[in-house]
Amino acid sequence: MSDTKSARIATELLTKSMNELAREIGVMDADDPRRAERIKQLWRLGELSASLKSERNKLLNQRMDELARKVGGLNPGNPRRAQIVNEILRLSDVVNRLRVKS
């Protein structure tokens, strides 16, 4: 399984857990003694989600920077330049789609 697919599955599981926890909190009575702990769990999962998104974006941007440096070192007629530029565009599209989802 690719790292990208693993990361997507992990993000989906995290989101599913957060949604389930939020629904559980929503049906609890305000004075339910378990409610405060569930809210803390939801907050911690939210913090984890934000941290993972930040790290993912940082890694994608680092990869695009590495590819841009490679392009700069290649001659204009080199076919590898087009491949690298296409990869940069693909990664840029991924970042943009992830921003829209967030």
**Among the listed residues 81, 55, 56, the one whose alpha carbon sits nearest the alpha carbon of residue 69:** 81
Q: What would the pLDDT profile of 73-82 be if each residue is shown by its tens digit? A: 999 889 999 9
Residue 7 pLDDT greater than 80, yes or no: no
Structurally, how many domains does the chain consist of?
1
Is the pTM higher than 0.85? Answer: no
Domain that holds residue 76: 3-101
Q: Tokens at residue 32, please?
A: 């339910």
